[in-house]
């Protein structure tokens, strides 16, 4: 146990017992515990394997490369259609975790083997994502914006493309593009 991570468990207003059991299960698999993204994260030789996080409706173990796991129990969930690599196992009570304890350890050990083997999830390239016509128009009108967008990391580019594509109405898409134009020109991601 890493004392720097204790605050996450101490401050939790919900899921305390569930978090404690998940922590015991993961640590029993020989992973190093750190705090990343405000959550307990467990790594094998510096490579993130799994993290514990919680939401209002559930708490979860998130496998960083869950898409590569076999999932014989059918318990891995893709959070959203845009998540390419990570997969969650969700829980709503302590009994669910206890019931799956042996299986969770097997999944964690498989995830460790994925890291040992150096396997990587083949991610879609940014060029494979559709560019909303409102953003495409703005890029054509503003060469500096086009250059700044291309200079962003692929993850930041995808973040903008997802955000700009979500609204059903063109007017809303245009407003989003307008709102974030300066941020793109400044070389920042959508959440920076």
126-154 pLDDT, tens digit per residue, is: 888 889 999 999 999 999 999 999 999 98
Spatial contact of 60 and 78, defined as CB atoms under 8 Å apart:
no
In the predicted model, is pLDDT for residue 82 greater than 80?
Answer: no
pLDDT for residue 81 = 78
Sequence-ordered alpha helix ranges (H) in 59-187 = 94-99, 101-116, 133-141, 143-151, 154-165, 170-185
Residues of the chain with CATH 3.90.1150: 3-116
Q: In whole angstroms, what is the distance from residue 47 CA to residue 61 CA?
A: 16
Report the alpha-carbon distance of residue 41 to residue 71 in Å, rounded: 21
CATH topology of domain 3-116: 3.90.1150
Question: Predicted confidence band at 191 (pLDDT cuts at 50, 70, 90)?
Answer: confident
Mean pLDDT of 36-57: 96
Question: Facing residues of 89 across strands?
Answer: 61
When pLDDT is averaged across residues 20-49 and rounded to a whole number, the result is 96
pTM, to two decimals: 0.76
């Amino acid at each position: 146990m890493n004392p720097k991570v204790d605050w996450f468990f101490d401050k939790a207003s919900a899921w305390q017992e569930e978090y404690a059991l998940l922590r015991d299960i993961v640590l029993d698999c020989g992973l190093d515990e750190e705090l990343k993204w405000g959550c307990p994260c467990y790594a094998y030789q510096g490579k993130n394997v799994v993290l514990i996080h919680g939401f209002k409706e559930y708490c979860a173990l998130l496998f960083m490369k869950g898409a590569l796991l076999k999932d014989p129990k059918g318990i891995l969930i893709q959070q959203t259609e845009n998540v390419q690599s990570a997969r969650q196992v969700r829980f709503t009570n302590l009994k669910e975790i206890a019931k799956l304890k042996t299986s969770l350890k097997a999944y964690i050990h498989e995830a460790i083997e994925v890291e040992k083997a150096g396997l990587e999830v083949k991610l879609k390239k940014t060029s494979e994502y559709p560019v909303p016509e409102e953003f495409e128009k703005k890029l054509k009108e503003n060469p500096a914006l086009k250059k700044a967008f291309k200079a962003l990391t692929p993850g930041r580019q995808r973040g903008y493309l997802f955000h700009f594509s979500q609204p059903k109405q063109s007017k809303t898409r245009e407003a989003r593009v307008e709102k974030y134009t300066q941020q793109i020109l400044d070389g920042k991601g959508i959440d920076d």
